[in-house]
Chain A
Amino acid sequence: MPEINEQAEAQTSGGGTTTAATGGKKHIIVDPITRIEGHLRIEAVIDENNKIVDAWSSSTMFRGIETILKGRDPRDCGLMAMRICGVCTGTHYQRSIEAVEDAFGITIPKNARIVRNLIQGSLYLHDHLVHFYHLHALDFVDVVAATKADPAKTAEEAAKWAHVAGVEPYIGSAGDFKMIQDRIVKFVKEGRLGIFGNGYWGNPHYKLTPEQNLIGVAHYLKALDIQREMSKMHAIFGGKSPHPQSIVVGGVTCVQDIKNPARIALFKELLTLSRDFVKRAYLPDIYMAGTMYADEATDGSATFHASDHKGAMGKAVGGTGGGILSYMSYGDFRLDDTGFYNSELLFPSGLVLDGDISKVHEVDPNKITEDVTHSWYKGSGAPEHPYDGTTIPEYTGLEKKEDGYAYLKTDEKYSWIKSPLYDGKKVEVGPLARMVVGYVKGDKRIKKYVDNFLTRANLPITVLFSTVGRTAARAIETELMSDVMLEWVDELAANAASGDLSTWTEFDFDTVAADTKGMGLAEAPRGSLGHWVKIKDGKVTNYQAVVPSTWNAGPRGPNGEVGAYEAAVIGTVVADPQQPLEIIRTVHSFDPCIACAVHVVDTKGKELATYKVDPTCAF
């Protein structure tokens, strides 16, 4: 039994914002949100029925990488921009390079295009797998409850869900499950729980049977091995993982890995092994969790409703964790060599708005703006386009109360993340958005994978618009990616064998970098990612990234538009206010990457020097 946390007790009765003062409402602070990249805080207000009636998302870290990029050589920005994030590592790298290539008007050779797809594809596999098992699964899987499982029944259960997926189970024998269980039993009984310590074990909102929990734990451990193999794929053409190094403006550097059939064979071998785990463990687990949590996924009463929140949408077509129900994808993974924004794409671009899955709207990059009404930056009064964004940090802090806790000033500024808008609207991005946009747009490949999943799971399409749906969409995408990458690696091998070893497009730097601007709009594992760069006399004069977690984790918009995390959490019922299990489950379903989401664009950030710390504080 987890101990009751006295701090939390004081916390939940401590009051907080305007809403917290009334009736039986309680104010919850969850900080740190763990099992994510970066520093994130969620505050929520729950009513007397333990239903979340309001929520705020805040990032509590600021580094200023875009400020650092100004004045640099545009060819060097990719490596620095990559350090925005070590989890979706390499994705900022490529977007930055592509923004510069767009500015320079460069089209990269075929080999470079395929290699970049393989590097990004490896990242998708690694990122999605690690997210599900190591960052998210413990929101569904009760590790301690797995100790009560019957190993023989566990084997039957594993077979059952594998068969739903149309495969044989990855771990199939009672003996194997017994061995893993023994390890867990001993771990729980005798030792300190380490990273599993102080978890929410025993919470009634864990819905899997002991046998199902044991399957989850077994795959959690096995996935630690598999992700390492996936990272090797990333390193074959990337040089190392995390933070690969082989992409340059104009192409890639790894020509000797491309021309070496042994390297391509190794890549294919690792891909085959990874794909096997995806199909025989990851997918079956999603069918299992999806089915066991299907009630809440289709519970329309737990959905965020527009009437309570000015400016938001709200057709209750989904369930718990559904959120704002507007989705955007810039599109990504070029499938031919016709040029930067003209190629056919694996993931099509588009917008599906207000839960209306009858039509897709085209994305117009000019309609993207960022607002800072609730962000710790000074604004010019209106949301601005990334090319011209000027932002000055203006930290107004948290409100320390008598109970000793520091609360977000939610009526004012409360996050280092800005609030991006598309045509004045909040949208959600990520694997779910990509699958929804592709599906509604009628993309044959995406439709096939999504329909296959829903048919096998025997669930309606509305199940996707929920916490569970977001998690399922990521798994569907992983399977799709693991299949299509096999085609790409063969395409690369065939092209190299034909004698084409071109990996770089030459350009005259002084000419192309004289006065230009460009953008790299594409899809990171977590969703739509854009880098915008302005260049003059060979140097960067302005740089901005609007990243997936900015779209999803951003605070309220200028007219109170509720952010995607905030909306997704609202409406959820928590079993025990002292255990934020349901909150972190929904927030995790977005796969937060908060270091990415925080940035600033203007050198006026140097004004912060006025806050310079007293030297005596620095020891």
Chain B
Amino acid sequence: MGMDKQESVKKLFTAQSAKVDTNRGDAYYEALYAKCQERLDALKKLTPLNNRRDFMTTIEDEGLERRDFLKWASATTAMLMLPASFTPLVAEAATLMNRVPVIWIELSDCAGNSEALLRSDGPKIDEIILDIISLEFHETLQAASGHQAEKQMEEAMEHFKGKYLLFVEGAVPLGMDGQFGTIGAKGETFVDHLHRAAEGAAAVVAVGSCATYGGIPAAAPNPTDAVGVMDVVKGKPIINIPACPANPSNMVGVILHFVLTGSIPELDSLLRPKFAFGYRIHDNCERRAHFDAGEYVEEWGDEGAKNNFCLYKMGCKGPMTFNNCSIIRYNEGVNWPIGVGRGCIGCSEPDFWDKYAYERPMANANIKAPTGGVEKTVDQFGLGLLTAAGIGIGIHAAASAIAGKKEHEKEEA
């Protein structure tokens, strides 16, 4: 690399954001608006699946004013990258969400995304909505066990064939004929369980980094040959909501979008909704001014740390990571990893455990492939070894290489 290292880093991190262009033009929005309205009218004619009372009454019982509700609807509209004129439609979609049946299955997981769902950040109302959607199967929360649980799922899959959203949490272990994970009295493997559940789904939502890219079980040397949902399920719309765990606001956003439009949101090359993953952490970071000023934390707890300086030198991977956490944060906005002085570990990016999740900047990481398993990931892994000067190229190369690979695979399949 001929360019001065410091200079090239500076250039990369101060460049215009790779954020997607959110404005699609008036004609587009007018057409979409009409489509949404039509969809909501059709939904209104259906009998509620699950709801026991008027939605607004429920909200008021929970101590929320209609004003608060509209405030939430307006914030959510913005989050979904829609013009403000869509706010009434979003509000209406929320009241109709009880008509979307959701089946949530868990594979090689830690239940972190289920826990995130419970904490449902953003406005308090998220929780109410999630209480009101028709959650047909969710192992961590449902009352029934054993045969009764299996029957509950089979019955829901039959009853809502072609209409339910399937949420998948956890990676899919393919090694040893899939036997690293089994479920049910017949000992069905996770991969068979996933295929069966996906067959009748309207769309499949992979939630969390394990379900999207394999996550921690797929970190080198990937002992169980774990992969993400998109590597297994074909012929269905797939939406990836990565991060460890996924932000519950993004889960709600996807459901809302589905109710609103009857279709899945616009996705990037990694099948992530652009409304959530169109932002680079670094571009919206509250510590960005310190980066621009060259003010860094040099070691944990130093004067820089006490003054909220930039965490890049402590290994923050905000410049490489696309997610909306710098905007919506976590746990009702209480905090986030950069806010707490640690920095970003790139958890919404593919293979982040092997590429990003360490306490040093990439340039001086000196990381080597952990024990075994290098061969099959060597092309992706090579990216992690690039010096800082090559990072920008690396990111784009990675994104396009992976996207290209996926396209190629689809054609072959």
| Interface, chain A (partner B; CB < 8 A) | 2-3, 5, 7-8, 11, 29-39, 60-65, 67-68, 70-73, 75-76, 79-80, 83-87, 89, 130, 134-135, 138, 143, 179, 182-187, 190-192, 194-200, 224-225, 227-228, 231-232, 234-246, 248, 250-251, 253-257, 259, 266, 395, 397-398, 400, 404-406, 501-504, 506, 578-580, 584, 595, 600, 603, 605-606, 608-609, 611-613, 617-619
Contacts and interface: CB of A to CB of B under 8 A. Distances in A.
B219 A255 contact: no
A86 B245 contact: yes
Nearest to B208: A86
B331 A32 contact: no
Interface centre among B51, B110, B187, B216, by most A CB within 10 Å? B110
B358 interface: yes
Contacts of B51: 191
A230 B51 CA distance: 28
A83 B135 contact: no
Interface in B140-191: 140-152, 171, 173-187, 190
Given A238-B335, A240-B337, A256-B306, 15 more contacts: A34-B141, A35-B145, A39-B181, A63-B173, A76-B359, A187-B52, A191-B52, A192-B49, A195-B143, A232-B331, A238-B340, A239-B335, A239-B337, A400-B187, A606-B221
A32 B224 contact: no
A544 to B, nearest CB: 14
B170 to A, nearest CB: 9
B358 A73 contact: yes
Nearest to A36: B140
A85 B110 contact: yes
B136 A83 contact: no
B179 A397 contact: yes
A295 B371 CA distance: 55
16 contacts: A11-B147, A32-B184, A76-B359, A83-B216, A134-B141, A138-B143, A191-B51, A194-B135, A241-B330, A248-B342, A254-B340, A257-B341, A595-B109, A595-B110, A608-B175, A612-B175
B108 interface: yes
B183 A83 contact: no
A197 B143 contact: yes
Interface string B78-116: 000000000000000000000000000010111111111
A610 to B, nearest CB: 9
B354 to A, nearest CB: 9
A68 B370 contact: yes
Contact of A613 (B109, B178, B345): B178
A65 B216 contact: yes
B334 A232 contact: yes
B180 A62 contact: yes
A241 B308 CA distance: 21
A60 B182 contact: yes
A611 B176 contact: yes
User: Lowest 5 A-B CB distances belong to which pairs?
Assistant: A86-B112, A406-B187, A239-B340, A64-B223, A186-B52
Interface in B319-374: 329-332, 334-337, 339-342, 345, 353, 357-359, 367-373
B52 A194 contact: no
Contact of A194 (B112, B136, B190, B372): B136
Contacts of B329: 240
B299 interface: yes
B118 interface: yes
B149 A32 contact: yes
Contacts of A238: 335, 340
B134 interface: yes
A7 B150 contact: yes
Given A239-B336, A241-B331, A503-B300, A579 B148 contact: yes
B312 to A, nearest CB: 14
A572 B187 CA distance: 26
Contact of B232 (A75, A240, A504, A618): A618
B4 interface: no
A86 B111 contact: yes
A68 B220 contact: yes
A37 B142 contact: no
A31 B118 contact: no
Contacts of A7: 147, 150-151, 185
B146 A580 contact: yes
Nearest to A196: B143
Contacts of A395: 176, 179-180
Contacts of A235: 330-331, 334-335
A71 B381 CA distance: 15
B13 to A, nearest CB: 21
A184 to B, nearest CB: 8
A21 to B, nearest CB: 19
Given A235-B330, A245-B345, A618-B174, A83 B244 contact: yes
B305 interface: yes
B207 to A, nearest CB: 12
Given A5-B151, A405-B186, A253 B341 contact: yes
Contacts of A199: 143-144, 148
Contacts of A618: 174, 227, 231-232
A198 B144 contact: yes
Contact of A253 (B182, B301, B353): B301
B142 A86 contact: no
A309 B197 CA distance: 41
B120 interface: yes
A409 B176 CA distance: 18
B226 interface: yes
A616 B54 CA distance: 50
Interface centre among B113, B301, B337, B359, by most A CB within 10 Å? B301
Contact of B115 (A242, A251, A256, A578): A242
A405 B182 CA distance: 13
A242 B217 CA distance: 18
A143 B143 CA distance: 10
B31 interface: no
B185 A406 contact: yes
Contact of A248 (B216, B226, B300, B371): B300
Contacts of B283: none
A259 B147 CA distance: 53
A239 B342 contact: yes
Contacts of A605: 223
Contacts of B111: 37-38, 85-87, 595
A584 B145 contact: yes
Nearest to A68: B219
B142 A197 contact: yes
A259 B145 CA distance: 47
Contacts of B182: 39, 60-61, 398, 406
Contacts of B372: 603, 606
B149 A83 contact: no
B224 A608 contact: yes
B143 A37 contact: no
A475 B104 CA distance: 30
Contacts of A3: 151
Contacts of A33: 145-146
B288 interface: no
B371 A603 contact: yes
A132 to B, nearest CB: 14
B131 interface: yes
Contacts of A71: 368-371
B152 A198 contact: yes
B115 to A, nearest CB: 4
A452 B25 CA distance: 68
A251 B334 contact: no
B396 interface: no
Interface in B269-315: 299-301, 305-308
B134 A194 contact: yes
B119 interface: yes
B234 interface: yes
A63 B120 CA distance: 27
Contact of A198 (B61, B109, B127, B149): B149
A216 to B, nearest CB: 13
